[in-house]
Structure 1
């Protein structure tokens, strides 16, 4: 599985994200979005809704699984920071 930094404001239901919830990092499914509240609802792979988490707790999006790129992530990742130390 490959993840990349994400712009949480571009997330949609069905995205797989890397998020910190209650001090633990999880890889849940986004089941709903609340753009006005800047939060996403996350669920597990068995259909159980775990609850809502804020954009600031979502760090990355799954961009590939077993070498297969997930097309639905186009435009959701953040550009890598440049390393300008000069």
Structure 2
């Protein structure tokens, strides 16, 4: 996936959780970004970027959807 490339998202339903390695759309400081999930614990997810940098823990509720396809 490249910067600016279109993706298709699927909702993460209530009661389910994103998994480690999933690429998700997460709301951070009022803006929406795609992030990798690095870890999951107690209703929180560790979000990371494509360069391996961990951005920090955020609430599961801030994860808006999961990438299910990349538009070529």
Q: TM-score normalised to the size of structure 1? A: 0.69
Q: TM-score normalised to the size of structure 2? A: 0.81
1:7 aligned residue (7, 13, 19): 13
Which sections of structure 2, spanning at least 5 residues, go unmatched? 1-6
Question: 1:65: how far off?
Answer: 1.4
Moved over 4 A (4+): none
SS of match in other structure, 1:10: coil
- Superposition CA RMSD, Å: 1.5
Give 1:23's aligned residue. 30
Do the aligned partners of 2:46 and 2:57 also contact (CA within 8 Å) in 1?
yes
Equivalent pairs counted in the alignment come to 65
CA distance in 2, matches of 1:61, 1:53: 15
Query: Could you give the per-residue CA deviations for residues 16-59 of structure 1, whole angstroms, max 9, x where no partner exists?
Result: 0011011111100001000xx20100000000000011011111
Q: From the two aligned structures, give the one with the greater strand fraction.
A: 2
SS of match in other structure, 2:52: coil
Give 1:72's aligned residue. none
Give 2:49's aligned residue. 44
CA distance in 2, matches of 1:5, 1:57: 12
Which sections of structure 1, spanning at least 5 residues, go unmatched? 68-86
